[in-house]
Structure 1
Amino acid sequence: MKKIFTQLAVLAGLGIMLSACHKAEMVNISQPLVSTANGITSDTLKGTVKGTMLAGKTYYFKSDITVNDGDTLMMQSGVHLVAIGDGLTPATSPEIFMHGTFISLGTQAAPNYITVQNAADLHTQATAQNYTNALKGWWGGITCTPATATVTHPSPTGGDAIIKWTHIEFGGGPAGTSDDQSFYTTGSPRYNMYFANITKNLIIEDSWFFGSKDDNIRVSGGKISVMRNTFELCGGVGGEFFNMKSGTVGDLAYNMCIGAATNSLKASDAGTTGTQCNVNMYNNTMVNGGYRQTKTGRGGSIDYEKSAKGSIYNNLIVNCRFGTRITSDADVANIKYNNQYLYGYSPAIVTQFYSTDGVGVKQANDILSTTPQANNPMFYGYDVNQYNFTANPGPISATLQPYAVIAIGTGNFKLQASSPGLGKGKTDFSPLASVKTTGTYGTTITLPGKDIGAYQNDGTGNQH
């Protein structure tokens, strides 16, 4: 399989035009200077685009843009890419059709933003507990798929998506006739990101996602490495933070998830790729998830169903409508799980630590209790009892959920020195590591941690 990374390493040294033509496997890349190849100097993107968005600059697009198969669109650090849309129609909710390779190389000091023109107002409204506009779906999101085959281009390959230290927010505008009707029927909400390329890599690291109307990210095939991200307030009356279908293989670890409409992380082998959905979920923290889902019995934290398999370890699940959910139609024999830490404010939450419509049961190294409010995880700066979960209701309208239960805000989710979760993680297993490349254009996989949850007492794990 060809890969972009060798090509990009050469570009870093030679400064020639970026391309998504992939060449030979490469397992390690040093940290090269990011090339300014084919720099984009206009502040407006439209039609077919490729090249490099230059560090610190702001770019705009108000109609759909397309990156062709074989091309690359890259964002250097500190770039703002602003969608000008109103979320009312497909034509006024611009989308990025990514048939080539997408690279966003934000940094901790200079993160990138893919957002909308009224983002500051939307965040202010959300802070004031007005979520209507935040969950409206202002633009069409990023759709990463191979192009449709043509006579002149019979075998499109698509490309990788590499996203680091990047904010992506407020997607969900209605789909139109230009969208592939197999996954976006006309009028349905689109996602912040959709990725469907079973032969390519989806790398998302140290990034932030906020305010999608439905699913935040959906993957229908691909090698994934999703590490150390923050997911907040996604889904109005349904939708997952990260929804994986047939053909998805890889790892999700050290992600901080708060305020999901349904599950934080969902694995299902629904689809026809021929490659079983196989994902590891470890050392994630999930808080206050699942309460806006309008359908009965849907999850609120981790969900494995429809022949999906993988490993589930070291996750911290706090006040979620449902805890770990493993349905009878999942590949139960090939799902390994233990060392989960679950906390519930009310009796109804405690009874669903392992969802009653699933087959999962308490494991020997789980931290949980049948007593409500037992085993407080002792976050440094977050009161797990500030929102009165007196029952296990659903759905709850977003307007009834205070901002502090659906977003990070000023919260600090690291564990205090006396937390029961310290030192209780399982470390004697390996990530799937389906993404083989490392370095600037590859992944940095954080291995399983000795402490439960996304934040490790030694400072590793989630860096937000």
Structure 2
Amino acid sequence: MKKVFYQFALAAGLTLLLNACHKEEIVNISVPLVQAGNVIKSDTLKGSVKGTMLSGKTYYFSTDITINDGDTLLMQSGVKLIALGDGKTAATAPEIFNHGTFISLGTKDQPNYITVNNAADLHAQAATQNYTNVFQGWWGGMVCTPAAATASNPTPLGGDVIIKWTHMEFAGSPAGPNNDAAIYASGDPRWMIYFANIKKNFIVEDSWFFGSKDDNIRTAGGKISIMRNTFELCGGVGGEFFNMKSGTVGDLAYNMCIGSATNSLKASDAGTSGTQCNVNMYNNTMINGGFRQTKTGRGGSIDYEKGARGAIYNNLIVNCRFGIRITSDADVANVVYNNQYFYGYSPAIVAQFYSADGVGVKKSADIISTTPQQNNPLFYGYDVNTYNFTANPGPITANLQPYRLLSISNSNFNTESNSPGINKSKTDFTPMRAVITTGNYGATITLPGKDIGAYQSDGTGNQH
């Protein structure tokens, strides 16, 4: 890790140097690719792994791989990591066990991929609404926790997870004997990422998530910064895009969420970490969520429950089964919210902009109505009225939901200049900044924007 820290210091120094220049004097500097440890020479990963996967290379794994405590596995830009499996059993669906540090440094021009060998076929099947194969769960996802204590290492520390400009897809195969029973019961669908380390950082920026079988990401402790990502079509009959439990602290902003099975973002203090779940959710866009959940009374956009607290501002919630849900057992006195923008095609959706089983109420700066199809957000390239369910029955299986309603596809979710959400945000609050490091290994936190939703009229916010 010495080289990692050296590179971090170099990046920080370059940042200070550039910030000292006047705007018209900024010079383009080619930043060298970051490397952690030795280069991985084989294209096949197995057993214990560490080092650097080189830019532009493709790597494969067909059995479980492990990053040990104190080790780092780093993906340079333009790397593909392919899981080879059929998703039928834990033995035939490999998993990444991360007890150290995992870093994926894709870029806008050279994103990384962590996916499966038949990803192109699965995307094509989804586009033609063959959702059975999409939600099979073809690999086991990634579990990020400290290692079990041993006599030689009684206090393993674990490490950070840093994911930037990376596509992650199609996790969810059933758990098996190699999984911790405290995390998964045998046969449970595994999540795309599980992160549980209250002392470490979980940073996800400018990345894409697609096709998980259940929860896409679940955290049970950690300092988080989740910025400018895209979440599409996750959860077959249940599951959240991002499910946070006790010990999770930080910010989620400028995320584009479409086609969730249940909530897009959920905060709950369930667990025994000793640190309250405390998260800010601001300037996110959530569309067509919550309709596949088979259990009654579940959400469809944002959910705070079981002692969780935080701030909820500037979110655009369109045609979700339920809008904001703040249950009576949340830390209600410390859940602050305002400036949401709600749109609903049908009376049933409009009636639950604040869910009927919660304690949330209309706030002074909300854009909200009691009339269906009022306050169209005016997306440049998406007609909100194509999601034309006239009732709010739930569940609605994926096969009854056209693909264009559950994915970005060719749509454009920037809003027109006369959208009701322009200049309607609350900007006089500060992100939590639980992750304080910056640079290659840190968080790039986008401050609250003046326009409601993930896309800003000045070009900031979500960059997808």
Compute the TM-score of the two structures, normalised by the length of structure 1.
0.95
Partner of 2:234: 234
Contact 2:311 2:337 in 1 (8 A): yes
* Alignment partners' CA distance in 1, 2:59 and 2:6: 27
Change (3 A) 1:398 1:96: same
Partner of 1:136: 136
Q: Residue 216 in 1 paired to residue 216 in 2?
A: yes
Q: Residue 423 in 1 paired to residue 423 in 2?
A: yes
SS of 2:312's partner is: strand
Partner of 1:34: 33
Q: What per-residue deviation string (whole Å, max 9, x for no partner) do you get for residues 128-156 of structure 1?
A: 11111111100000110000001111100
* Alignment partners' CA distance in 1, 2:283 and 2:41: 42
Partner of 2:296: 296
Q: What per-residue deviation string (whole Å, max 9, x for no partner) do you get for residues 268-310 of structure 1?
A: 0000000000000000000000000000010000000000000
SS of 1:132's partner is: helix
SS of 1:181's partner is: coil
* Alignment partners' CA distance in 2, 1:7 and 1:249: 29
Partner of 2:280: 280
How many residues align? The count is 449
Q: Which 4+ runs in 1 deviate beyond 4 A?
A: 11-14, 28-32
* Alignment partners' CA distance in 1, 2:349 and 2:9: 55
Q: What per-residue deviation string (whole Å, max 9, x for no partner) do you get for residues 164-214 of structure 1?
A: 000000000110111111111111000110000000000000000000000
Change (3 A) 1:390 1:13: closer
* Alignment partners' CA distance in 2, 1:46 and 1:238: 32
Amino acid at match of 1:277: C
Q: What are the residue-to-residue correspondences of 1:366-405 with 2, within 5 Å? A: 366-405=366-405
| RMSD after superposition | 1.6
Partner of 2:341: 341
Partner of 1:91: 91
Partner of 1:154: 154
Contact 2:168 2:210 in 1 (8 A): yes
Contact 1:29 1:440 in 2 (8 A): no
Q: Residue 203 in 1 paired to residue 215 in 2?
A: no
Q: What are the residue-to-residue correspondences of 1:324-363 with 2, within 5 Å? A: 324-363=324-363
* Alignment partners' CA distance in 1, 2:46 and 2:155: 25
SS of 1:267's partner is: strand
Partner of 1:410: 410
Contact 1:106 1:112 in 2 (8 A): yes
* Alignment partners' CA distance in 2, 1:71 and 1:99: 8
Q: What are the residue-to-residue correspondences of 1:27-66 with 2, within 5 Å? A: 33-36=32-35, 37-66=37-66
Change (3 A) 1:361 1:150: same
* Alignment partners' CA distance in 1, 2:448 and 2:354: 22
Q: What per-residue deviation string (whole Å, max 9, x for no partner) do you get for residues 305-354 of structure 1?
A: 00000000000000000000000000000000000000000000000000
* Alignment partners' CA distance in 2, 1:7 and 1:323: 47
Q: What are the residue-to-residue correspondences of 1:94-105 with 2, within 5 Å? A: 94-105=94-105
* Alignment partners' CA distance in 1, 2:180 and 2:371: 49
Gap regions ≥5 residues in structure 2: 18-28
* Alignment partners' CA distance in 1, 2:441 and 2:384: 38
Contact 1:12 1:33 in 2 (8 A): no
Shift of 1:13: 8.1
Compute the TM-score of the two structures, normalised by the length of structure 2.
0.95
Shift of 1:9: 3.5
* Alignment partners' CA distance in 1, 2:389 and 2:375: 16
Q: What per-residue deviation string (whole Å, max 9, x for no partner) do you get for residues 341-375 of structure 1?
A: 00000000000000000000000000010000000
* Alignment partners' CA distance in 2, 1:195 and 1:7: 25
Amino acid at match of 2:279: V
Partner of 2:6: 10
Amino acid at match of 1:440: N
Amino acid at match of 1:314: N
Amino acid at match of 1:419: S
Amino acid at match of 1:407: S
* Alignment partners' CA distance in 1, 2:425 and 2:306: 28
Q: Residue 169 in 1 paired to residue 169 in 2?
A: yes
Q: What per-residue deviation string (whole Å, max 9, x for no partner) do you get for residues 76-125 of structure 1?
A: 00000000010000000100000000000000000000000000000000
* Alignment partners' CA distance in 1, 2:58 and 2:70: 25
Partner of 1:245: 245
Shift of 1:33: 2.6
Q: Percent identity among equivalent residues?
A: 73
Change (3 A) 1:108 1:182: same
SS of 1:138's partner is: coil
Gap regions ≥5 residues in structure 1: 15-24
Contact 2:8 2:441 in 1 (8 A): no
